[in-house]
A and B are shown apart, each in its own frame.
Chain A
C-alpha cells in the first residue's frame, strides 16, 4: 500500500528525516510515536506530498509520488488526512465542507456527495449539525467533521496527524472512538499520536521515532512491554 524508501528531508541545514524506510500493508494500522520534533508529522506530510522530500522515494499503490507530476492530485484523492487543528473551511457549512472535494474532483455528483455526507454524519452522530458553520462546533465535533470530510473521498488510507492533541481532554474520547471504529472496519491507517493507550489497543504495529530516525518498530504489545532500544525505554518511562 505505502512504501517509503530512504526518505530524507532537510529544512535548510536541518536534517529532520534521516533515511526513513517503512512499508505498510493493506488494512494495517500503524502508530507513529515519539517526542516532539522527532519528525513524525513531517513524515506523514511527506506521504501526502504536502511536504516535499529532499531525497528518497515514496510509493503509494506502487506509484512513485515524487515522479507523479500533475497526477499528485489524483493520488491525494486516495489519501485522507486529518490535522491537529482540524483545518475545516470556516466559510463553508458542515455539509459544504464534506461535499466540496468529491464534487470538485468529479468523483461524485452533487446529489451523491450529499447522500454520502448524510451517511457519514449519521455515523458520526452529527447529522443535526449539517447546516452549521465550523465556528459553532466544539473541538471534538470539528475533528469528527474533519474525519467525515476525508472519508467522503473514499480514501484507501487515512493519515492522522496528532488528531487529538488540540482537544480538551473530555473530547479526546469521542474522536478516538471514531478512529477505532475506522480501524475495525479495516481502514489502512497511519496515526501520529501521543495517546499511548490508543496506540497499544488499536495499532497493529508501533513505530518509535526520535531525532528524525526510526529507532524501533514492533507489534504494539512487544514495543510497550519489551522495548529494546534505550531511547525507546527512556521515552516510554516518561509517557506511560
Chain B
C-alpha cells in the first residue's frame, strides 16, 4: 500500500510538520482570541476614534486574502524595518492578526445578542459596567458564540497551511517535500488532508464538549 509506505518513509517530515502546524495554530488561537476580545470591546465602545480604528482594521483584514497578509508581514518586515524575520514568527503574527478580526466580530455579535434587560437589571443592582460585563454579559455571550468560535478555530487550523508559502516547515510544506521526493502528486495530498481532518475534528469535538458543559438549563 503506497500511502502507508509514504507515511513510514517520510514520517520525520510529517511529524515535524504536525508539530509546527499545532504550535502555529495553538499560539495564534491564544493571541488571536485575546486580541479579538480587545478589538470587539473597542468596536463596541462609545469613543469614536478607537471604534473607527477597530472597525477599519476588521474590514481590511476580512477583505484581503490571508496569503497576501502573510507575505506582507514577512517581506514587509524586511523592506520597511530591515528585519530579517523568522518565517514561523511572521506566520504567527499574520495568522494571529487575521484571526483577531474574525474573533472580534464573533464576540461583538455575542455581546450584542445578550438582552438589554440584563444590563439594566445588573446596573439597577448597583454593579459597575465592568462587573456587569464580567459577571453577567460575557458568560452569556460566550455560551452563545461557542459554535461560531469553534468554527473559527477550525478555519484557523486549516488556514495555517498558507504559512508554507513563505517557507514555514508546517504540515503543508511537509506534503510538498514528500511530493517532490517521491515523485507522487496524489498520495501525499491524501495523507495531509487526513491529518488536517484529524486535527480539526478533534478540536470541534472538544468545543462540542465545552458547549454541553456550559448549557446550564434545559
A positions within 8 Å CB-CB of B = 45, 48, 50, 73-74, 76-77, 79-81, 83, 85, 87-91, 100-101, 104-105, 133-136, 146, 149-150, 153
A80-B120 Cα distance, complex, nearest whole Å: 11
Q: Are B124 and A48 in contact (CB under 8 A)?
A: yes
Per CB-CB distance, the 3 closest pairs between chain A and chain B, nearest first, are: A77-B126, A87-B121, A101-B125
> Is B77 part of the contact surface with A, judged by Cβ < 8 Å?
no
B135-152 to A contact mask, C-beta < 8 Å, 1/0: 110011001000000000
**Contacts A100-B135, A133-B216, A135-B217; is A91 near B140 (CB within 8 Å)?**
yes
**Contacts A104-B135, A133-B217, A135-B218; is A87 near B120 (CB within 8 Å)?**
yes
A83-B128 Cα distance, complex, nearest whole Å: 19
Q: Which single member of B117, B118, B123, B216 contacts A76 (CB below 8 Å)?
A: B123
Q: Are B124 and A80 in contact (CB under 8 A)?
A: yes
* A-side contacts of B123, CB under 8 Å: 48, 50, 76
A70-B128 Cα distance, complex, nearest whole Å: 9
Q: Are A79 and B124 in contact (CB under 8 A)?
A: yes
Q: Shortest beta-carbon distance, B145 to chain A, in Å?
A: 14
* B-side contacts of A83, CB under 8 Å: 117, 120-121
**Chain A residue, CB-CB nearest to B140:** A91
Q: Are B124 and A76 in contact (CB under 8 A)?
A: yes
Q: Which single member of B115, B117, B125, B127 contacts A150 (CB below 8 Å)?
A: B125
Other A-B pairs beyond A48-B124, A73-B128, A153-B125, 19, CB < 8 Å? A45-B120, A76-B125, A76-B126, A80-B124, A81-B124, A85-B117, A87-B117, A88-B121, A89-B122, A89-B136, A90-B216, A91-B139, A91-B140, A91-B143, A101-B127, A105-B125, A133-B216, A136-B217, A150-B125
Q: Shortest beta-carbon distance, A156 to chain B, in Å?
A: 12
Interface size on B, residues (CB 8 A): 21
> Is B131 part of the contact surface with A, judged by Cβ < 8 Å?
yes
**Contacts A73-B128, A104-B135; is A89 near B216 (CB within 8 Å)?**
no
* A-side contacts of B140, CB under 8 Å: 90-91
Q: Are B120 and A104 in contact (CB under 8 A)?
A: no
A150-B117 Cα distance, complex, nearest whole Å: 15
**Contacts A74-B126, A76-B126, A105-B127; is A89 near B218 (CB within 8 Å)?**
no
A149-B139 Cα distance, complex, nearest whole Å: 19
A77-B127 Cα distance, complex, nearest whole Å: 8
Q: Which single member of A45, A89, A153 contacts B126 (CB below 8 Å)?
A: A153
* B-side contacts of A76, CB under 8 Å: 123-126
**Contacts A50-B120, A136-B217; is A87 near B126 (CB within 8 Å)?**
no
Q: Which single member of A80, A87, A135, A136 contacts B115 (CB below 8 Å)?
A: A87
**Chain B residue, CB-CB nearest to A75:** B126
* B-side contacts of A88, CB under 8 Å: 121
* A-side contacts of B122, CB under 8 Å: 89, 101
Q: Are B124 and A90 in contact (CB under 8 A)?
A: no
* B-side contacts of A87, CB under 8 Å: 115, 117-118, 120-121
A169-B141 Cα distance, complex, nearest whole Å: 33
A146-B124 Cα distance, complex, nearest whole Å: 12
In the assembled complex, 18 residue pairs joining A and B whose CB atoms fall closer than 8 Å, in A order, are A76-B123, A76-B125, A81-B120, A81-B124, A83-B117, A83-B120, A85-B117, A87-B115, A87-B121, A89-B118, A90-B216, A91-B140, A100-B127, A101-B125, A101-B126, A135-B218, A146-B121, A149-B125
A77-B128 Cα distance, complex, nearest whole Å: 11
* A-side contacts of B128, CB under 8 Å: 73
A73-B217 Cα distance, complex, nearest whole Å: 31
Q: Shortest beta-carbon distance, A103 to chain B, in Å?
A: 10
* B-side contacts of A101, CB under 8 Å: 122, 125-127
* B-side contacts of A77, CB under 8 Å: 125-126
* A-side contacts of B217, CB under 8 Å: 90, 133-136
* B-side contacts of A80, CB under 8 Å: 124
Most chain B beta-carbon contacts within 10 A, residue among A45, A50, A85, A104: A104
